[in-house]
Structure 1
Amino acid sequence: MGTIWIVLIAILALIAGVALGFFIARRYMMSYLKKNPPINEQMLRTLMMQMGQKPSQKKINQMMRAMNNQNK
């Protein structure tokens, strides 16, 4: 009877640890991506120039706004 309780507590602790670890990792990644966005205006300008387009500031602002709205 005693070993059943020990196994049950161990399983519950494992499940709680996995859930807590997931939420901590998720919060860390969200704050990291907010501080260090994956793409910025300079990277976007370079990308457009490599594709043969002449990037205007209006077009870059529009694409950055679209990307930010998509991430929300």
Structure 2
Amino acid sequence: MFRTADIHEVLPPILATLLVRVMAAVDVISNANAEVPAVARIVFLLGAPVSVTCCRAGSCTGCGSTTT
């Protein structure tokens, strides 16, 4: 992510997780999807942060994570 690994090796995963969570918060605050059904809004809202956090933690088997 923009050569942030040159600063520290864990900075890119931290930034990716932080940015996804900030975008989810902006989505809640802006209320841009008010006409979408509630279940779909929850999936849209939580899908990205959960998947990024899960893959960054290395607990997903299908995301290609190579942590040991």
What TM-score results when the alignment is normalised by the length of structure 1?
Answer: 0.37
Which structure shows the bigger proportion of residues in helix conformation?
1
Q: Greater CA radius of gyration, 1 or 2? A: 1
Bigger relative contact order (CA 8 A; separation at least 6): 2
